[in-house]
Structure 1
Amino acid sequence: MTRVLAFLFVLLTAVLVLPAAPASAHAATVGSNPAPGSVIGTSPSEVTVTFSEPVTPVDGRVQVIAPDGERISGKVEGGGNVIRIPVRKASKPLGTYLISFRVISADSHPVGGAITFSVGAPSARPEEPAATTGPHPSVAVAVPVLKTIGYAGVTLIVGPALFLAFLWPPRRSRAGASRMIRIGLALTAAATLGALGTQAQQGSGSPIWTLSAGEFTEVVTSQYGLLLLGRLVVLGALAVLLPPLLRRPRRTVTVPQTVTAPVLVGAGAPAPQPAPAVKPQPQVTPRRARAGAVLALGAAGLTTWPMTGHAIAVPLPAVTVAAGVVHMAAMAAWLGGLVTLTVFLLRGTHERMLGVIMPVWSRWAALAVVWLVMAGAVQAVIQLGSLPALWQTGYGRLLLVKIGVLAGVLAAAAGARRMVNRARNGRGLRRTVVVEVAASVLILALSSILVQVDPGRSASANDQAVSGKGMSETLTSNLYTVQFNIYPVELGEYNTVHAFLYRPDGAPLQAEEWQVSARLLDPALEAVQQPISGIVPGNQALGSLSFPLAGTYEVVFTIRVSEIDRASVKTTVTVGT
């Protein structure tokens, strides 16, 4: 027993420490205009970046940097999957430009990156602004911890409330369970406020302690912030409505009354006759109305979780949101009930009373597990997108770990159920339930990480994401200077080379003949001539390079600038390693 709990504690600690790395992005960059790595003739008045999902630009974190490092972007316009960035003409327009962006995806997670394009000819890439990728370590740690606290808070509300309402022994004090509900409300509220406080820092990449009033206001007035404010309102209402509903019900004694007609004194007076019975009319009692309000508020509060996560950014959001609510409600009822049993009821309750409570709870727990598994299966199918994503993506592998832990918990639950059916409510049952609770806490931690990891359905979009990869370089001989760009520098035949030729004094130079070759250095192979031709009139040439094997290639440009003047320049390119 002690060894099992120690193992679960170590595993839980590892799970909470591992997410310190930045969370994966959930919207991929799938295109831009100008295209990534492209070379265009004139400076654009607007650039666009296209994503696989709707995004919201982070204020001040979407920029276009000119070749000399000057920021030339204006106010960003976002609409759906595309962000538009107006740009003014740079003071030195020729060279390589950098589009640096940071946006918030539809499921509230940050996405950062950079794309380059060139005007006239490639040049050195401008320095990328700081904090364009990944959240600050303080935020990366705080986010999953806050989510775990929020999930724990919900379980501490639902489980004790369920027992106090339906299964609480009449002679046991309700103070401890009521206190646990208040703790659950406080934890959930704290986690929600923490989520509001870290959302802006997720977007900006800044430390958690640098939150400004303006950033907090921007978050609060967004859809994400309004949903979390709604959750806080629900928690406040539950704090008022739940305590009176869960107090020990008062026993009232009804004294039957016989209503008779007036008695007439005197001869010939008729015998007293009972008044006609009045059929009672069904009424909605204040207690029943309060219970209905609590259920409605609870459902509304649970809805805010999937609506601020993965579930809202899928092809079937209504299905995934509904499945998310059912999944979380079933988890909270099951795990919260186990915690209530472990902390309050398994010790100090007469075995005869446990013999009444445990069979009912066992049936409820089994039903909660069925709904938990069904809702989880719906979510997994939609979020994974394909069966291979189960073992090919980080999301799928983490899901497999969660399923494995869940299987162990269900095995422990099955053992506890057998003990209940055999009326064994002693030490063995307590030990089994404690292990079940400990493993379930690990499932909560895994869930808090899972909502931060890129879903399997996004893997294909990320595989197609543009990254601005490629290479630009300037080579010089005594006859000329050549600037060139190779894109995308990948294995295969489809690598475009775009070159620009200049005199030593910087004036454009038109070549008489262009040649380019590529040779693998290790293992050493013969140089292979590659197709390239000049663009007339002008100082440009366009061609392609083939890299059939991974390794380092020597690329040689041989350019004839007159009938007799010819020179070669060379560089190396590493491909696929």
Structure 2
Amino acid sequence: AAAALATTWSLANHSVTGQARGFAVPVDVVHLVAGSVWLGGLVALAMTHVPARDAVTLRVAVPRFSHTALVCVAVMAATGLFQAWRQVGSLPTLFATAYGRVLLAKVALVVVLVAFGAAARGWVARHYGAGGNRRRGGPDPYQLYAFYRRLLAETAVGAVVLGLSAALVAMEPARSAYTGRRSTAAPANTAAVPVVPEPVPFSAGSGPAARGAVLLEVFPPKVGPAQLHLSVLGPNGAPLNVPEVHAAMTLTGRDLGPIPVELQGAGGHYIGQMNLPFPGRWQAVLTVRTTETDQATVRVVVDVSA
């Protein structure tokens, strides 16, 4: 049942897009199940087993969970490295994107959890013996209370890790965000020179519409009412008909957006009406869906004057 629930989550997140999709979904399921067993076991110990102070139950449950947690951590580390490679790709991407920075925060907290776990394994070995050796007398009430407080702290950190994991699912992966930023970056000394729009490439999964480019133009590029013209092009430069296209405008300098732009059109060319309230370097966030499960996000810089 846990694996089935994890599969539904994996099929709704970034595992179904990008590189190595056929391998990414089962790896993500294993990662989720291992994390659930680890953190779920912490909750069980902290909320039921330890407060009950049943010496017989603790003598069996605590050493068994200690061993299980070690296996789960090893599995999570291996699968997490694979996922990081898929969604990040390189060290510059890790530090230059919001996704990468949130991932770093998650990894730092996981390291804290591993440190808690290592200390807990030492505690278990001292008080229950290796593998729950019954010749050990077990902890006294004061020692058990100290262990209980450590479990609560570990559970709290685990809850924060879950929150960061949920945030990562809702964010654009670092690899695609960094690629879009590099492909749309404009030199600082070209503000006064008319900019000729250039196609920005995208890649989403496999199939005839998996690769192409988007061509965006905002007219007029000034504060006030404007039109967004968007063309989706195939590898040969011809219009590409895709199932769905979304557009939104953001102005990071003022922490404004994303402002959705309703697009009208078909056959690879779309027009949207919008109103730009401020000048500055806006960013058009374009999401192109090529199949039922594949999509790519492209960011295009639009300089808006007063």
TM-score normalized by the length of structure 1: 0.30
1:298-337 deviation digits (Å, cap 9, x = unpaired)? 4333211111110101121122101110110001101111
What does residue 325 of structure 1 align with? Answer: 29
Q: Which residue of 2 aligns with 1:429?
A: 147
Q: Hey, what does 1:402 align to over in structure 2?
A: 106
* Partner in structure 1 of residue 165 of structure 2: 447
1:156-555 equivalences under 5 Å are: 297-423=1-127, 424=139, 426-463=144-181, 464=183, 465=200, 468-469=216-217, 472=220
> Does 445-454 or 299-308 show the bigger shift?
299-308
Query: How far did 1:459 drift?
Result: 2.2
TM-score computed with the length of structure 2 as normaliser: 0.55
Q: Is the 8 A contact 1:333 1:368 kept in 2?
A: yes
Distance, in Å, in 2 between the alignment partners of 1:468 and 1:353 is 65
Q: CA deviation at 1:385?
A: 2.2
Q: CA RMSD in A?
A: 2.5
In the comparison of the two structures, how many residue pairs are matched?
A: 182
CA shift digits 1:103-161 (9 cap, x unpaired): xxxxxxxxxxxxxxxxxxxxxxxxxxxxxxxxxxxxxxxxxxxxxxxxxxxxxxxxxxx
- For residues 28-43 of structure 1, the aligned pairs below 5 Å read none
Cα offsets for 1:440-477 (capped at 9, x unmatched) = 0001111110001110121244233457356649xxxx
CA distance in 2, matches of 1:575, 1:332: 48
Letter in 2 for 1:430: Y
Q: 1:326-364: per-residue Cα shift (whole Å, max 9, x none)?
A: 110001101111101111100223335422321111000
Q: Which runs of 5+ in 2 are unaligned?
A: 128-138, 184-199, 201-213, 222-302
The equivalent residue for 1:75 is none
**What's the CA shift for 1:410?**
1.3
CA–CA separation in structure 2 for the residues paired with 1:453 and 1:575: 26
Question: 1:383, 1:457 within 8 Å by CA — same for their partners in 2?
Answer: yes
Report the CA distance shift for 1:455/1:431 in structure 2 as closer, same or farther (over 3 A).
same
Judge conservation of contact 1:415–1:432 (CA < 8 Å) in 2.
no
Structure 2 Cα separation of the partners of residues 337 and 302 of structure 1: 17
**Paired letter, 2:216:** G
Correspondences of 1:83-94 after superposition (within 5 Å):
none
Q: Which amino acid aligns with 2:42?
A: L
What secondary structure is seen at the aligned counterpart in 1 of 2:52? coil
Higher relative helix content:
2
Measured in 2, the distance between the counterparts of 1:320 and 1:467 equals 31
Counterpart AA for 1:372: M
CA–CA separation in structure 2 for the residues paired with 1:441 and 1:359: 23
Structure 1 CA distance for aligned equivalents of residues 24 and 158 of structure 2: 23
Question: 4+ runs of 1 displaced by more than 4 Å?
Answer: 469-473
Deviation at 1:431, TM superposition (A): 0.9
Distance in 1 of aligned mates of 2:219 and 2:44: 61
- Aligned counterparts of 2:4 and 2:155: Cα–Cα separation in 1: 27
Find the aligned partners of 1:456 and 1:446 in 2 and give their Cα distance.
15
* 1:387 to partner: Cα distance: 2.3
The alpha-carbon distance between structure 1 residues 442 and 460, as it changes in their structure 2 partners (threshold 3 A), is closer
| Partner-residue secondary structure (3-state), 1:426 | helix
Distance 2:125 2:41 in 1: 18
Query: Alignment partner of 1:385: what SS?
Result: coil
Alignment of 1:121-140 (within 5 A): none
Deviations 1:349-406 (A, max 9, x none): 3335422321111000111111111111111111112221110111110000000111
Cα deviation code 1:19-53 (max 9, x no counterpart): xxxxxxxxxxxxxxxxxxxxxxxxxxxxxxxxxxx
Work out the CA distance in 1 between the residues paired with 2:178 and 2:111: 29
Q: Quick one: distance in 1 between partners of 2:23 and 2:215?
A: 33
**Following TM superposition, by how much is the alpha carbon of 1:575 offset from its aligned partner in structure 2, in angstroms?**
9.2
| CA contact 1:413–1:433 (8 Å) conserved in 2 | no
The C-alpha deviation readout for 1:43-89, integer Å capped at 9, x for no partner, is xxxxxxxxxxxxxxxxxxxxxxxxxxxxxxxxxxxxxxxxxxxxxxx
The AA in structure 2 aligned to 1:468 is: L
Q: Percent identity?
A: 33
> Contact 1:413 / 1:432 at 8 angstroms: preserved in 2?
no
CA distance in 2, matches of 1:300, 1:426: 36
SS state at 2:91 partner? coil
Q: Distance in 1 between matches of 2:218 and 2:5?
A: 48
